[in-house]
Structure 1
Amino acid sequence: MGNEKLLYPSVATTFYGNFSQIYKTQDEVIPYVLNGKNIVLSAGTGSGKTEAVMAPLISRYLKKAIETDSLTILYIAPTKALVNDLERRLYPYLRKLDFRVGIRHGDQDDMKLRMIPHVLITTPESLDVMLFRGDKALDGIHAVVLDEIHLLYNTQRGLHLSILLNRLKQKLDHPLQWVAISATICNLQYVRDFLFGTNEEAVFLEDLTKREIDSQIRILKSMDQLKELFIKIFGSGCGRGKYLIFANSRRECEQIATFLSEVECLSDLVCTHYSSLSVEMREEVEYFFNNSVKAICISTSTLELGIDIGNIDAVFLYGPPPGVDSFLQRIGRSNRRSKKTNVICLVRIGCTNPYLEALNFHALIELAKEGNLPEKKPYSLFGSSVQQLLSYIGSVNGEYTRTSELAKLCSHLPHLERPTIELILGELEADGYLKAHGFKNRYGAGQKLYKLIDHRMIYGNFPLSTQEIRIIHGKKNLGYVSSINLLRLNRGSIIRFAGKKWKVKNIKKEEVEVTPINIGEPLTNLLYPGNSMGLDIFVISSILDLIQKSSLDTKIYSKDIQRDIQEFANLYRQIFQQNTIPFYRKSDGYVYFTLSGYIINKAIALITKQANFKATDITLTCSKKIEWDLLPTDPTEYKRVFQSLFEVNSNQTFYQTLLPKEIQKLEFIQCWLCDSIITSQLLKLQKSSAVENSVEEMCVWELS
């Protein structure tokens, strides 16, 4: 410890002067950053990662930034909300050092100011806009920070960012230093490989310090139980504290807010936070929650990120999150001032199998305590390369560009070599987005590319989604919902949105005008289309490991369900014994309980040549008996069924749909080829024996 002495004295005082001792992570990072090293940093939430990288970066580039008075450090975050929050957090530090900080996204552009920022905080899409427009200010950038990188790893937006950074590096006449940070990364080297390729030198730093998790699992039989809990906390008028409730859907957010707001002592404390709300509404919620001494905020994953909302006394989880990484992000919001995380896990009302959901929570808690994250190798993705090829040609006004120059955009990634780029370019020409030069190996813009540019669809790689309509109150934009709600709403309908009740005043094609109302029943529930999360194979496997132990620690559960959970686990243990696959016979086939996830079950059905089958996360129903000991365990041995595994879905981006079909299929199976849990699960199934059970045994716990 003591590396802060290596910083400029003014920087050390500004960032760490109020602390008797800096965090271990902050200390370790300093010498590497000051020596110009690239870094992948993983440390828990609340460990001061932002300060850990910004203090030494400011110290390293302080003199250069002041002398040239130019943009020197680029800070990239995945969402506009986080960009805004980071600017608020960094501004007090940087102002003391005469360092200007600004933001650039769809709602604000500080690059238009007379004196541009020395540090610019932005999103990948806004960096794309700046490169597209040939912004000269980018020429002065010496360092890039990539925040919350787990949200971009193995995604189309991540590939988008990877190619953007490669374009930026090719534009500069000096080296570009980078630092990638997150709280939940399994293999740090994989992050480097995915974003920068395997040849990029980097230092990998991981803080393995774990916070104690104080947790309890409860089964909610009615929302009244949640009401009673908060009435106990706040009912006397003397209660204080801030509580964050995470739900897995916007609909659940509004349902919980409705119930809690009906209680007089809670009505002024409740707020909601989710992606459909307008920026203005979300910022109002963040300000209210951050500055309140007592409040209850119900949120989706939008508050998983490091947005500053003050110290949270406890986190409630209404239903288990989709995976252990999300679980860690959510519980990490709690009690950051101490070394202990407080979390109450709530099994949802009306859950089909409450005891199984309770065990799901238990497995997540154990995985979090161990720091055990799923390991996924870097995916070979292609979709964003389409967008970047088109964006680059658009940035030179559609002029014919050499194929070698276009291939260079992705040259850092081995799977995007020139033959693949040529295949993609040929497909784009056939579809009318590009035009091939008559005799030179060059491509220019086609009419469809100009149309993309005119409609400002050239900058992003977000999934395809349904058309949205605005909800407005007067001139204030409250947020957005799917246009499918136009079929449900009428003038006079009462809806719940942004944690409040509203009466529909007027309906137009692109917006719904509402006015606030305190009473009014019944409510018309808004629809929020989206894909079901499904079950995480990694977590399912952990649930099985948990119940197959000789004893289950029931102290983690509320006292009223401890006995029932133990009995449920005992029965599960009898049915799902180690190295067995329970099944029962039907008149037309077999139902195997593999608990291996949809894609594994589908692949098994295809590789065993089942004529008729139905695959779910839990079961595989098929017409022929499966010889499990003959099951291939290497994912590549399923190559002959890859084409049948491929499915087009709404998670595809527009640019993925422009890829040649063979490349689309190759993208789809990356989760099959690169996820280590696939191999281990196939191996487990191959070593298992099928054990027949009665239909009644399997239905007792609603497994079938």
Structure 2
Amino acid sequence: MLAAGARGESALLVAATGAGKTLSGFLPTLVDLAQNPTDRLHTLYVSPLKALAADVERNLLGPIAEMELGISVESRSGDTSSDKKARQRSRPPNILLTTPESLSLLLSYPDSFSMFADLKTVVIDEIHAFAPGKRGDLLSLALARLQHIAPNLRRVGLSATIADTTAYRSWLAPNGDADGVTLVEGEAGADPDIQILLPEGAVPWAGHSGRYAVHQVMDEVAKNRTTIIFCNTRGLAELIFQELWKVNDLGLPIAIHHGSLDREARQRAELAMAEGRLRALVATSSLDLGLDWGDVDCVIQMGAPKGSSRLLQRIGRANHRLDEPSKALIVPGNRFEYLEAQAALDAVEAGERDADRFRPGALDVLAQHVMALACAAPFKEDELLGEIRSAMPYQWIDAPTFARLLGFVRDGGYALKSYDRFRRLAPDGQGGWRLAHPRLAAQHRLNAGIIVDAPTLDVRFRNGRRLGTVEEYFASTLTAGDTFAFAGLSLEVESIRDTDLYVRATTKPARIPSYVGARMALSTRLADRVRGFLADPASWQRFPEDVRFWLEMQQLRSVLPRPGELLVETFPHEGLHYMVAYPFEGWNAHQSLGMLLTKRMDRAGLQPMGFVASDYALAIWSLRPVADPAALFDSAILEDEFVEWVESSHLLKRAFREVAVIGGLIERQHPGKRKTGKQVTFSTDLIFDVLRKYEPDHLLLEAAWADARERLTDVARLGDLLDRAAGTMVHRTLPRISPLAIPVLVLIGRENVAASDLDDMLLGELADTLAETAMRLDE
């Protein structure tokens, strides 16, 4: 890294956790500042988390003080005082640590040109956490502007978990030129010590929490000095924390850390960990990009990790030293998750990482960036387009597309331009564009940002009686007439207005399971490894006896799909006809596919009654049998049913609200006042209806469609699955439920019970009953 710095080259450093990546990224800066002292801003450090920037500040100040270097280091985030922020713009430190959002705000000030004029280096930590998403879009645009201000700027990326280094070097480089970024790879550290924690009884048929092992987890906490217990969702973190407290007979100090907690509560937990006062911390991905706590000697992953890169990232929090193995335990929630955990272990041992999929830069993010630059200074259209196209995610933007985007930023577009409130840019008299009014700059800075809070909707009867709330993602997939289970009732959707979901009680069965939000996607590479296990009986010898027997019985009763094949089983069960497919494309994709298939089955007169999905399988039950599954799994479903579903549900409205907020069409805040989620929803719904009627090709509707396809439904994986299904489907008509179907059918009982009333014993009995039917040795 020193050599690359001396040559003035940009660099991507990929090295194991604990190898000293962060200090390696800063070392050329420290050397240059020691040899050439300055009172100007020299290096900008960008991290995905405010906590990580604060942690790096502490760790950097130590070596600087020990070497007696006169180098100033400061952090800047949403938590920084306004006085300090103002002083940083006029008298910045030598090294400034910040986040993409705070950097974007800095670039919206006129003094950004002088502030960054002498900038030498930008260090991007945990680059994999940015690049493929909208925060990465914002950061790449910010890098393009910084390069415009300081043409000799070096870019440095740091990560422990990257599969495709060429793709990341392209993202990091100006104009996407991967050859302009030197790849530096660290030596491998000690192999991690990872084990799968098996229950005292059999591996459960269903569940995702690993809750059954809470006593064993508490025993591990008691054995170690400090343990981090990772959970895949905030809800699961809360559940596991409560369960651990119930069995914490020794009264050991344990805490919880996730993104929904108050900032002070998170900081208290972080400080207690740093000072060694905690024996265990239950956490979510809020600590994936970990803080350097060297005394953590064990990491426990509750439920399957969903990807080898994520598992490695989390394991790296233990021992945080290159020469000592990190100790980790995986607690699989069910039998498929056991296979997934084993696949993750094999992937880690093989050095395999999960590939990230880069997509075109988002238009709503670009609109926000253009507005930020207009706040800083007037600009000329063609010059700004050239700068924007130097950011790899936006190389696709051509002059007509940019003209449309500029029209939206200028006055809202054709259907909205007659309203003064949407007029944000005006001609500057010299062939360029400037802000239409100075007050718009303060308004932009108050509302800028990429993360839009996901509100909940109130579930109500027509008389106003409130039953509770569901997350908006779930509600947005519903259309009038859909039925779902909630609060122990079968409910039929009547309408959605603002933030209220109106329902009526019905005797119809609940077709759609009630669920909470999109889940962490199962990585394609882990899914491929699990498929490989199913097709390779020789590998089963290392599995627990109950898992091995389950697979052997599936082989006897039906068939196990080979890699690349799509197995579909149909069988009768308790008076209904079931179709179970095993795509292994993840819960999000399966949930969307379930919606589409039930609509197609409805049209075919098969009378579908409901569906349920897991990461591995999808089960649909109906009054009439499915004779030809291939006719249902047709790629035209993405052109017909998918478009109809998105347009008739509130998926598109939800996506539109997010892009309208990010793109600056709707303001979340005014000085001293923040709009409620209901007010924002009401405003965006009105505009959405106007645009759909009068300007259906509006830029933000295009952006909303891109979001609905990409993020909300995993439609890319759906497309791959349906293309594959045409030539690889294996259909088995069975006399009864198959062993492989048990884990997903158990979910029917789980999804139709309100979480607060969930009785694991009853679900266990249901699983045992299904297993007795599927795995008996007669016939």
**Shorter-chain TM-score category?**
0.7 to 0.9
Q: Using the alignment, how far apart are the partners of 1:456 and 1:529 within structure 2?
A: 32
Paired residues of 2:372 and 2:444 also in contact (CA < 8 A): no
- Residue 55 of structure 2 corresponds to which residue in structure 1? 85
- Residue 416 of structure 1 corresponds to which residue in structure 2? 397
Instruction: Give yes or no for the alignment of 1:358 onto 2:338.
Output: yes
- Residue 540 of structure 1 corresponds to which residue in structure 2? 527
Partner deviation per Cα, 1:613-637 (whole Å, 9 max, x = no partner): 97956338697835599978xx9x9
Q: Using the alignment, how far apart are the partners of 1:372 and 1:52 within structure 2?
A: 24
Paired amino acid for 1:570: E
Paired residues of 2:124 and 2:158 also in contact (CA < 8 A): yes
Alpha-carbon offset, residue 104 of structure 1: 1.0
Change (3 A) 1:100 1:529: farther
Alpha-carbon offset, residue 295 of structure 1: 0.8
Alpha-carbon offset, residue 278 of structure 1: 3.0
- Residue 185 of structure 2 corresponds to which residue in structure 1? 206
Q: Using the alignment, how far apart are the partners of 1:381 and 1:244 within structure 2?
A: 35
- Residue 230 of structure 1 corresponds to which residue in structure 2? 218
Paired amino acid for 1:42: V
Alpha-carbon offset, residue 270 of structure 1: 0.7
Say which is worse superposed, 428-437 or 329-338, in terms of deviation: 428-437
Q: Using the alignment, how far apart are the partners of 2:532 and 2:224 within structure 1?
A: 40
Alpha-carbon offset, residue 93 of structure 1: 1.4
Say which is worse superposed, 186-195 or 307-316, in terms of deviation: 186-195
* Paired residue secondary structure (1:205): strand
Q: Using the alignment, how far apart are the partners of 1:425 and 1:312 within structure 2?
A: 50
* Paired residue secondary structure (1:569): helix
Paired amino acid for 2:108: F
- Residue 743 of structure 2 corresponds to which residue in structure 1? 702
Instruction: Give yes or no for the alignment of 1:76 onto 2:46.
Output: yes
Change (3 A) 1:639 1:250: closer
Aligned residue among 327, 332, 351 for 1:347 = 332
Aligned residue among 454, 461, 466 for 2:455 = 466
Alpha-carbon offset, residue 342 of structure 1: 1.5
Paired amino acid for 1:532: R
Paired amino acid for 1:128: S
TM-score, normalization by structure 2: 0.67
Q: Using the alignment, how far apart are the partners of 2:652 and 2:218 within structure 1?
A: 45
Paired amino acid for 2:148: Q
- Residue 147 of structure 2 corresponds to which residue in structure 1? 169
Specify every segment of 5 or more residues in structure 1 that has no aligned partner in the other structure, as ranges.
1-28, 349-353, 469-481, 486-527
Instruction: Give yes or no for the alignment of 1:129 onto 2:119.
Output: no
Q: Using the alignment, how far apart are the partners of 1:459 and 1:670 within structure 2?
A: 23
* Paired residue secondary structure (1:374): coil
Say which is worse superposed, 101-110 or 449-458, in terms of deviation: 449-458
Paired residues of 2:276 and 2:295 also in contact (CA < 8 A): no
Q: Using the alignment, how far apart are the partners of 1:184 and 1:433 within structure 2?
A: 44
Paired residues of 1:245 and 1:317 also in contact (CA < 8 A): yes
Alpha-carbon offset, residue 303 of structure 1: 1.3
Q: Using the alignment, how far apart are the partners of 1:231 and 1:446 within structure 2?
A: 64
Instruction: Give yes or no for the alignment of 1:215 onto 2:185.
Output: no
Alpha-carbon offset, residue 74 of structure 1: 0.7
- Residue 575 of structure 1 corresponds to which residue in structure 2? 559
- Residue 16 of structure 1 corresponds to which residue in structure 2? none
Q: Using the alignment, how far apart are the partners of 2:74 and 2:158 within structure 1?
A: 20
Instruction: Give yes or no for the alignment of 1:374 onto 2:388.
Output: no
* Paired residue secondary structure (1:121): strand
Q: Map 1:273-352 to 2 at 5 A.
A: 273-292=257-276, 295-337=279-321, 338-348=323-333
Q: Using the alignment, how far apart are the partners of 1:676 and 1:224 within structure 2?
A: 35
Q: Using the alignment, how far apart are the partners of 1:590 and 1:232 within structure 2?
A: 41
Aligned residue among 165, 175, 189 for 2:166 = 189
User: Aligned residue pairs: how many?
Assistant: 597
Paired amino acid for 1:540: A
Q: Using the alignment, how far apart are the partners of 2:100 and 2:560 within structure 1?
A: 46
- Residue 151 of structure 1 corresponds to which residue in structure 2? 129
Q: Using the alignment, how far apart are the partners of 1:389 and 1:529 within structure 2?
A: 35
Paired amino acid for 1:384: V
Change (3 A) 1:131 1:93: same
Q: Using the alignment, how far apart are the partners of 1:603 and 1:228 within structure 2?
A: 36
Change (3 A) 1:463 1:193: farther
* Paired residue secondary structure (1:583): strand
- Residue 103 of structure 1 corresponds to which residue in structure 2? 75
Aligned residue among 370, 394, 401 for 2:375 = 394
Q: Using the alignment, how far apart are the partners of 2:156 and 2:359 within structure 1?
A: 21
Change (3 A) 1:455 1:683: closer
* Paired residue secondary structure (1:297): strand
Q: Using the alignment, how far apart are the partners of 2:92 and 2:428 within structure 1?
A: 44
Paired amino acid for 1:126: S
- Residue 179 of structure 1 corresponds to which residue in structure 2? 156
Say which is worse superposed, 146-155 or 543-552, in terms of deviation: 543-552
Partner deviation per Cα, 1:210-255 (whole Å, 9 max, x = no partner): 6423222235578585335535764xxxx65111111122233233
Instruction: Give yes or no for the alignment of 1:625 onto 2:628.
Output: yes
Paired residues of 2:103 and 2:142 also in contact (CA < 8 A): yes
Q: Using the alignment, how far apart are the partners of 1:675 and 1:602 within structure 2?
A: 9
Say which is worse superposed, 562-571 or 214-223, in terms of deviation: 214-223
- Residue 490 of structure 1 corresponds to which residue in structure 2? none
Change (3 A) 1:670 1:41: farther
- Residue 33 of structure 1 corresponds to which residue in structure 2? 5
Paired residues of 2:368 and 2:448 also in contact (CA < 8 A): yes
Change (3 A) 1:279 1:368: same
Alpha-carbon offset, residue 644 of structure 1: 6.2
Paired residues of 1:589 and 1:624 also in contact (CA < 8 A): no
Specify every segment of 5 or more residues in structure 2 that has no aligned partner in the other structure, as ranges.
205-209, 417-421, 458-467, 472-514, 666-698, 746-779
Q: Using the alignment, how far apart are the partners of 2:596 and 2:456 within structure 1?
A: 36
Alpha-carbon offset, residue 187 of structure 1: 1.0
Paired residues of 2:258 and 2:284 also in contact (CA < 8 A): yes
Instruction: State the identity %.
Output: 21
Q: Using the alignment, how far apart are the partners of 1:644 and 1:205 within structure 2?
A: 49
Paired amino acid for 1:227: H
Q: Map 1:544-555 to 2 at 5 A.
A: 544-552=531-539, 555=542
Q: Using the alignment, how far apart are the partners of 1:620 and 1:484 within structure 2?
A: 23
Aligned residue among 136, 142, 166 for 2:120 = 142
Paired amino acid for 1:427: F
Paired residues of 2:565 and 2:728 also in contact (CA < 8 A): yes
* Paired residue secondary structure (1:284): helix
Alpha-carbon offset, residue 655 of structure 1: 2.4
Paired residues of 1:73 and 1:119 also in contact (CA < 8 A): yes
Q: Using the alignment, how far apart are the partners of 1:436 and 1:695 within structure 2?
A: 72
Paired amino acid for 1:361: A
Alpha-carbon offset, residue 335 of structure 1: 2.6
Alpha-carbon offset, residue 694 of structure 1: 2.0
Q: Using the alignment, how far apart are the partners of 2:126 and 2:536 within structure 1?
A: 35
Paired amino acid for 2:170: D
Change (3 A) 1:249 1:580: closer
Change (3 A) 1:192 1:355: same
Alpha-carbon offset, residue 670 of structure 1: 5.6
Q: Using the alignment, how far apart are the partners of 2:105 and 2:57 within structure 1?
A: 20
* Paired residue secondary structure (2:300): strand
Cα RMSD over matched residues?
4.2
